[in-house]
Structure 1
């Protein structure tokens, strides 16, 4: 898969922390996306959440945060793909990304 292993203390919210007998032992950071992977991730989100356009604003912001952490917006037309799936404009996705970055800066 090409993931990266990290100490649990270095894990970001989007990383997967593995536990053994109740103790955190390692974190796994998944690699960035390929062009076709974004469509599959969006389809997976729709299976979990139902129609993404019907979600509330806070949930959409959280999904944008998760997608940004996985590299969704480094893919060509990533913003457009996500905007269409969420039923919002590209401008709204950029606002959600700005919100994500502001929250991240507050956490530091």
Structure 2
């Protein structure tokens, strides 16, 4: 099946450039080879996120793979660190056996369209406002998640570790064992251990040894292993 897989990757890669040229320049097309994670980008057209072939997957794609979530994700919103809003789609491509082999991602920069929408809305209300009227409350809009589009694995790893630590709301030097295990659990769920030297990087950030991280992983594994059920004792048949 490896021959089929490599052939599919070549076919998918050859589609990226013509697909990208047929779409507006505000849309980036990226192909990830899931077998090459984390440095999974094998073809790219466009520069919405500034990534190139050989760059790593995003934190969201890494988490998706780590969770075994191989469903398509269509039209989800995210935000770049510079504030630009994107509308993204991730399609999982499979071989003849149904095994996921690649992810084709479209990232559309919609910030220009949002600005035009605000301008049109402003121009639609040209009447002078009533100075005595109370200002209308702004509608609450859920913030789009900030997906990280790293240029190298170190940047991806630093982001994952930083986020996991921040979510504990406790400084590292004040963390107890349960906090550090929670950090490791979060990083495991988000695919951090798919990265090379992950254990060493996490150990350094938490101020523990790499053997401590392995112990935490063993404890987390034990949590997920169901305890064996004891067989009910057989009743003795009453003598007649």
Shorter-chain TM-score: what band? 0.5 to 0.7
- Between Structure 1 and Structure 2, which shows a larger proportion of helix residues? 1
**Mapping for residues 1-108 of structure 1, pairs under 5 Å:** 2=61, 3=64, 4=69, 5=71, 35=153, 36-48=155-167, 49-106=169-226
- Cα pair 1:53 1:88 within 8 Å, conserved: no
Q: Give the 3-state SS of the residue equivalent to 1:76 in structure 2.
A: coil
Q: What RMSD in Å do the two structures reach over aligned CA positions?
A: 2.6
SS at 2:226 equivalent:
helix
Matched-pair contact (CA < 8 Å) for 1:67–1:73: yes
Number of paired residues? Answer: 81
TM (norm. structure 2) is 0.30
**Distance change >3 Å, CA 50–CA 80, structure 1 → 2:** same
Please list every run of at least 4 consecutive aligned residues from structure 1 whose deviation after the TM superposition is greater than 4 angstroms.
1-6
Report if aligned partners of 2:203, 2:209 keep a CA contact under 8 Å in 1: yes
Structure 1, unaligned runs of 5 or more: 7-32
The verdict on how the C-alpha distance between 1:81 and 1:105 changes in structure 2, with shifts beyond 3 A counting, is same
Choose 1 or 2 for highest CA Rg: 2
Question: How far 1:50 moved relative to its partner?
Answer: 4.3
Q: Which has the higher contact order (CA 8 A, sep 6+)?
A: 1
